[in-house]
Amino acid sequence: MFTGSNNVTMDSKGRLAIPAKIRDALADACGGRIVITAHTEDRCLLVYPEQEWAELQEKIAALPNMNPKARRIQRLVLGYATPLELDSNGRVLLPQTLRDYAQLEKKLILVGQNNKLELWSEALWNSWVDEDEPEGDIPDAVSALSL
Amino acid sequence: MFTGSNNVTMDSKGRLAIPAKIRDALADACGGRIVITAHTEDRCLLVYPEQEWAELQEKIAALPNMNPKARRIQRLVLGYATPLELDSNGRVLLPQTLRDYAQLEKKLILVGQNNKLELWSEALWNSWVDEDEPEGDIPDAVSALSL
DNA sequence: ACTAAAAACCACTAAAAACCACTTTTTTCC
DNA sequence: GGAAAAAAGTGGTTTTTAGTGGTTTTTAGT
């Protein structure tokens, strides 16, 4: 399980060093075989261990694709999904299209989210943290929460 | 299965180099024999392995063609469908009518969508990605999703 | 038969992948 | 607490492969 956040840096070739602790967790979870894709609701990337991804991929592929909302999710999630492996120094090379989608530059934040990780541009992460509370319905499960 | 997206360029003759990884996947799936046609809901092209296309073609042909929506789908999908082969350098030559339909210029994006690929003009892809969320019904299967 | 366009072929350039070396930080042992 | 060793992170170099552009040959149409 992944928790906690890390500052990471992307070099000029788009290589990203995975922090050693997360690297170990990934080695346990999936032998370092991961899939990175787009988040549909925010401009950030999702990092999945291979098996986690396989389950999600099936669910997404099964959505009714004449529905616009479902088609949007399919296009983005399947369309950006890229299997990646760590190089000999524990780095991954992020494809240009993923860098573009999440507006990644040098300074990034890698955020643990239990079964996956999120990868944000530091600037977008900070402005998301500063954002006002979202409007709209609050599900019962959220109202019932007690931190 | 096709996932992930690639920047590709079309040269002045309308030739399009298929990225090596996708080329390999296509070689497995269909020996490089593909069919390209129009997408009915967006101005982009669909790239199918031969067998996938054969199945789809039957379904489309079987639609009730007194219905306007069905007739539209038939005209576009069957009408633009073109079998193509890769040249010795792994490129396909896109017919002018397909280029026109999808407003393809030099810079394109090739997007994996599991059993097929989508080919977009980079400009149209970017404006689609930036578009607001679609209105309308959200299927239960979508609401229940958790990325 | 001649012209024009399209297909096949060939050569070069550029980008990606693998490799290697160095710097900095952390940990352990004295 | 300090020094040494190990691990982690960073950057650059080389090699290979993929992508790009141009040239020639064939085919088809007039």
Query: Between A and B, how many CB-CB pairs are < 8 A?
Result: 79
The per-residue pLDDT for range A28-38, each reduced to its tens digit, is 889 889 999 99
pTM as predicted: 0.92
- Residue-range domains of chain B with CATH: 5-131 (3.40.1550.20)
Question: Distance, angstroms, CA A86 to C1' C29?
Answer: 33
Q: Is the CB of A123 under 7 A from strand C?
A: no
Mean pLDDT over each residue of chain A, to the nearest integer: 93
B129 touches chain A (CB under 8 A): yes
B7 strand-pairing partners:
B109
The per-residue pLDDT for range A36-64, each reduced to its tens digit, is 999 999 999 999 999 999 999 999 999 98
B140 touches chain A (CB under 8 A): no
Distance CA A140, CA A23 (A): 36
Parallel/antiparallel/unpaired status of strands A34-38 and A45-49: antiparallel
Distance CA A56, CA B145 (A): 9
The per-residue pLDDT for range B77-128, each reduced to its tens digit, is 999 999 999 988 999 999 999 999 999 999 999 999 999 999 999 999 999 9
Nearest to B53 by CA among B79, B33, B71: B33
Distance CA A63, CA B138 (A): 11
